[in-house]
Amino acid sequence: MMSPNPALAVLPPLRGRVQREAPLAPFTWFRVGGPADVLVRPADAEDLLLLLRDMPGDLPLTVIGAASNLIIRDGGLRGVTLRLARGFGEVVVEPDGIVAGAAALDAVVAETAAAAGLAGLEFLIGIPGSIGGAVAMNAGAYGAEVKDVLDWAEVATPGGLLRLSHAELAFAYRHAALPPRAVVTRARFHAAPGDAAVTAARMQAIRSQREATQPVRARTGGSTFKNPDGHKAWALIDATGCRGLALGGAEVSEKHCNFLINTGAATAAELEALGEEVRARVLAQSGIALEWEIKRLGEAMP
């Protein structure tokens, strides 16, 4: 049992759900990880702003979305874990774009745009996450990234709601420059009228390619490591013979070796240790230090 955190008693009164000692593994695609001291699911943006304004500034704050690219360590998360849900899932079609709430799934945004006859957001169908996370990490796939289509993002901060332009977000590879303790609440993506049949075909091609090349039906977390300049992470890993390498219940995917898999009973520690073993072998063989793309959060078990 985790020791109680007295600061948790001074959270402001919220209309959303506040749950202490909350299991987090069921929310993650890997299905691993310890509990949150307290899990907060705000009712709406107003509720979120109240939380950020009035919670103690020294209380740790962690934001999780679809948790599709995340390992939560076995000891869990201290402080407040924030998860945006139903109040942040609206998707609005405009003549030349889409405004989507942070909790909207990337695939839903792609499908909504296509149904409205808008082209340019098809790549989102290949990103297994939510819009908030996609903005925060400049998610990308199949030749496009969020930075290529984003006009602005609204973020909640302790000082209020801000609308940040594309330039202000200073996008880099798998990174956006967000203010301290900022939480993405919604974003606008530009798109253009397009041929519905062409857009649908493009999306189906992406789906088919994912099915053929990635372990999409496994307990996984998407791409484990970033692609180094001039290299593909999977090729560097494959060259070391790590395809299929296992540690406890964790395994390097046979189908795509830049994916880790929980084969059923893995711990977060096993997944992370297997990833570090892969990094060590790639470094020894190629001299290239792979950087984690999967976020690893929380405390290890003693």
Which backbone phi and psi does 119 adopt, to 5 degrees? -115, 155
Answer yes or no: 293 catalytic: yes
Cβ of 190: how many Cβ atoms within 10 Å?
Answer: 16
**Catalytic residue among 223, 251, 270, 272, which?**
223
What's the rounded Cα separation, in Å, for the pair 168 and 148?
14
| Cβ(299)–Cβ(78) below 8 Å | yes
**Catalytic residue among 78, 83, 174, 186, which?**
174
Answer yes or no: 15 catalytic: no
Cα separation values, 192 from 5, 113, 180, Å:
50, 9, 33
| Cβ(146)–Cβ(171) below 8 Å | yes
What would the two tokens of residue 95 be? 């003549």
Helices (H), the chain: 45-54, 106-115, 131-136, 166-169, 196-213, 233-239, 268-286
What's the rounded Cα separation, in Å, for the pair 296 and 289?
17
| Active site (catalytic) residues | 174, 223, 293
